[in-house]
Structure 1
Amino acid sequence: MQARIRRGSVALLIPLALLAGQQPAGAATADDPMTGAFARAAATYEVPRDLLVSLAYAETHLDGHDGEPSASGGYGVMHLVASRTLDRAATITKQPASTLKSDDAANITGGAAVLRAYADELGLDATARKDAAQWYEAIAKYGNASSADVARLYADTVYDLMAKGIKATTPAGETVTVPARAVEPDRGPYAKAKDLDNPNTFAANTDYPTAAWVPAHSSNYAVSNRPTGDKIDRIVIHVAQGSYAGTISWFQNGPRANPTSAHYVVRSSDGAVTQTVREKNRAFHAGNYNRRSVGIEHEGYVDNATWFTDTMYRSSAALTRNIADRYGIPKDRTHIVGHSQVPGATHTDPGSNWNWTKYMQYVTGGGGTPTNPHTAQSVCGSGFKVINSAALGTAGNVYLLYNSANGNNCVATIKKTNLGKATATSAYLEVKGKPRATDSGNFTYYAGPVKAAAADKCVKWGGKIGSSAHDSEFEHCS
C-alpha cells in the first residue's frame, strides 16, 4: 500500500498555454493523432499517460462514436458527461462543448483537464502526480458512481486494464498501446467499499449464483410477484451503450424522467455478471415485454464489435440458459430476443455486430466445449501473475499467483467441467510459520481467491476438485 498524501486546500492549476489559447507542445502527427493527443494531454495536465488511456479504453474502447452520446449522456473517447465533466472540461480548456463532444483530441484534453482538477482538489502535489497509484480517488470521482462500491468497481477496472496492458485499434485504424504495468493503487476511503469482483461478496439472495448484487434505485423497477403474477416467457438481450460500471451506476440513479433498469449486466472483458433487479420484479427495459421478460444488458456499444468477446458470449449464454431452464423458456429465437425485436421498440440493440449464431449455439450447448469465463488472474485481481499451476485431472487446474507490488500470493482453483454446477472444489495457501488458509465448498466455477502476504517466505499451496487434488511442498523460498 502506498503512503497517503497529506491533503489540503489547493488552487486548480491551469496551464498558461491553454489560458492564452495556445496549443501545448507535442502535437499529434497525421499518422497517429490519438496517440499524440493522449501524450499531449497527459503532459499538459501532468496525468499519467497510461492511466489516461486505460480510463478512456474502459469507457469507450477509444471510440468517440462521431459525437453521439452514450445511454448515460457521455460524449467522446473520454465519455464527458453533460452537466458534469463536459461542462467542467469546457470551463478549464476554454473549448466549446460542441468541440469537446466531436473532436477526439479536444475530448481527450478535456478528460485530462478534469482529472487534474480532481487531483488538485484531493491535494496531489507534483511528486504525487507522477505516481499512478495516487490517482485512484480522482479516477473513482471521474466515474461519478452512485455508490462507493460501484466507484471502486469503476476505478479497479481502470487499474486492471493498465495491469494487463492495452492494444486497441481506433475507428480510424490507429493502434494505441499501453504496456502491461501492475500498480497497487492507494484506494484511500474506497478501501472500505465492497469489492464487487470478489466472489465472497456475491449475495446469497441473487437469482443467479455467480452474480454480484447491486440493487437498482427503487424508482427504476416495479415490485412484482413473478412468475405467480405474470408468466416469464421471454429473455431480452440488450447492449448498454456504455461501460459495465457506468451501466450499473445508471440503474442506481433515480428518480428521473425516464426510469431504466435491467435484471443483469454482463462485462465484456471477463464475463462478470451483476444483478440489479430481482427476477420476480419488473425491470424497465423492454416496453411491452417488461411484464413477461428478464432483461440482460451487455457492456459496450452496438457499432463497435470489439466489446463482444467470446468470454462475454459464453458467460451471458450460461446466464440465459440458467434462466430458461428455471422458467421453462424454450431456447429459441422466438423466446430469446434482441431489444430491437420487442413490439413497438425504437432501439436497435444488440445490433448487427452481435453474433446471434454463436450466442444461440452457446445457449443450446451446441457451441463446442464450454469454457470457464473466469481465469486465475481475474479471480485474484489486479497485479497478480501466475507463477505455478497444476492440473487436477481433467476437472480443472489450481494456480499459484504472486503480486510483486505488495508481496502477496494468491491461490485459485479453476474448474473445466461441470461449469455452472455446484461441485466440491477447494483452494488453499499456507505461508511457512502461519496457519493454512482454505476456501472450500460447492462452487460453480472456482474456489478462491486465497491470499496471504508471503514476500521472502516459503509457501505450500494446492487445491481439489472432486477426488483430484494437488498438494505442493514448501517452495518459492527466497
Structure 2
Amino acid sequence: MRPATAALAATLLVTGLVTAPGNAFAASGNADYAEAAREFGVPEPVLLGVAYLGSRWDSHAGSPSRAGGYGPMHLTDAVPAEPGEHHDAEDPRGDPSRPLGVDGHADPAAGRPGTLARAAELTDQDPARLRTDRRENIRGGAALLASLRGDAGEDLGSWYAAVARYSGADDDATARRFADDVYEVVRDGATRVTDTGDTTTLAAHPDVRPDTAALDALGLPQPRAGAECPARLGCEWVPAPYENYDPTDPGAYGNHDQADRPNDLSIDYIVIHDTETSYEQTLELVQDPTYVSWHYTIRSRDGHVAQHVENSDVAWHAGNWFVNSHAIGIEHEGYAAQGSWYTEAMYRNSARLVRYLADRYDVPLDRAHILGHDNVPGTTPGTVAGMHWDPGPYWDWSHYFDLLGAPLPTWGAPHSGVVTPNPDFATNRPRFTGCESAGVDCPSRGSTSLLLHTEPAGDAPLVADVGLRPDGSPSTRAVSDIGARIDAGQRFAVAERRDGWTAIWYLGQKSWFRTPEPRHGRPSGPALVVTPKPGLAQVPVYGRAYPEQAAYAGTGAPPQSVLPLQYAMPAGQRYVVGDVDPPVDYYFAQTWDGPHVVVSGQDRYHQVFLGHRVAYVRAADVDLSLVW
C-alpha cells in the first residue's frame, strides 16, 4: 500500500510569473547583462548562467541570501554567524523517556571573507551600492568573473575554470558541480519572469563544450572521502562523534545513536532543516559530542555537502524519536525568518542528494515523506509547543520538487473532494510579521504557504491551534506561528467551497483559504482519506506510531506510553492519508554500552495530514475510503 518511489527525472528549469514589488533593483530584461558583458569582456551567456545558479536572476530587493550574497550575481559579504532558534527549545532527540538537555549554541564563529568587496574594488563602486543597485551588482559580478578569466577567450567553453572559481568552492568536486550546472543552463537555455517583473532570457547553446580540463590546473583538493552521496556531487565526510564524555554516566554520550538501518529500522522520511547559523559554525556544533547531530549539511554559496552521521545510524535532529528513528536529517545553511533566500546551487545539490537517498531507501517523493522540520509532530502534548518551524514559509517547496523530478500536483478539479495547495511562489506573498522585530511586518516575499481563516473572509480570525495556544485563541501572522498555515504539496479533504474560497478539514476545524488561480501541471488525482468509525464522536491522534504495551514483553525495553496529542478527529470530518501503513516500533537506545533493541508491534496506524504537521491515527479507529 506504500506509494512507489517516483521516477527520478532530469532537473527542470522552471518559468516563474511574478509581479514587480517595486524596489531599487527594478530594471528590465537582459540589458544590464549585455552591457556588463561588453564592458568587461565576459560572454553574456556565461554571465547569465552564473547569475542563474546564484539567484535565478532574482534581485530580492537588496536582501542577502543565506550565505550573505546580494543581488542577481550573488556577491557575498563577510558573514557573521548569528545564532538563531535552532535546537534551543525542543529536545532534538525527541524521546521523553531519555530527555536530552542542550544548552544552546557555542560562541559565534568568525565571518568569512566574501566577493562583494573585491567586486566593488574592481568597479570603483561603494559596496553598499552593489548590494542594492541591480545594474551595479551585475557589473560587479562581470568584473569579478573577468578577473578570474585566466586564458579564457571568446569561446564559451573556455570560461569553465573561471566559473568554477567564481563559486567560491574550496574543493575540486564542488567547484566542478557548480560549473557543470552553469553550463547545463547555458546549453539548455532558460527564460524567467524575475522578482522585478522583467523577463530575462538565456538562449540555448546546445553545442557548447566546456573546457573541464582547465580546472585541473588550479589544483583544488578533493573533499574528505567517506560520504554516502551520489557521484560527482562533491560530498565530504566530517564525522559527528559517538563517544562517552563522562565515564561515570553511561547515558552521557553523544551525539547520535548507532543502529543498522534499514535492516533493523526502515528509512521512511527525509527531514529538511535550516541551520540558523553559518555553515562554519554548524560544522563546529555537529562535531561537539555534548551537542546534537544530523546526517548532512549543505552550504549556501556553492551547494557543498558534508555528511556527519552514517545513514545506518540515528541522528538527533527532528525533536521526535519515532521520526528520528526512521529519518535522514539534512541541514541547509540559513535562517527561517530573516530576510534571506536560498541559492539555486543549494536547492539543486539538495535535490540531487534527496533523489539519491530516496532511490536508495525507497522513500516516496511526496510531502508525506519529504518533510520540513515544521511538519514533524510533537511526541506528547507537552512537547507540541516547543517543536520547531524551519525551514519556514520562504522555502520554495514547489521549485524543490521540480528539481527532485517529482513536480507537485495542481489544485485538482473545481469540484474535487481533495486539494493539494500549490500557489505560485513569486506572486503568493502572505503578510507575516516578526522576521526582524516582533509584531512588525516582514518584507513582502514569495512563499508557498497559505493562511487559514475561520470564515471565508480576509479579515476573519485565523484558525486556532490548541497545541500552540491551549486557551483556543486565534493563530497569528507571526512568521514562527504555523498554527494556521498550509504549504505546497500537503493534501487536505475539502469541507466546502464558496465564492472563491475553499474550506478544508484542519486540526478538527473547518478552515478557509482564498482559492488561488489554478496553475498548469500534473493533476492532483484521488486520495485515500480516513474518517472516524461509525458510533465514535471523535478519535485521538498521535505524534508517533508506538507499539501496544504487550509488544515490550521479554524485550528488555521499558514499555512506552501511547499518549494522544491534544488534537482530535471529530465524526464527519475527513483527513488525507500520507502513508497508509507506516512502521510501528520503538527503538530502545539510551546508554553508551547498550542494549539497542527494536520493539515491533502488531497495532496499525495511518499517517495523515492533520494540520501543518502530520500525525498518526490508529487504523482500528477509522475507516478508509477513496475520494476524487
TM-score, normalised by the number of residues in structure 1: 0.49
> Quick check: which has more Rg, 1 or 2?
2
> Is the helix fraction higher in 1 or 2?
1
Higher RCO (CA-CA < 8 Å; seq separation 6+): 2
Q: Under a length normalisation based on structure 2, what TM-score does the superposition of the two structures give? A: 0.39
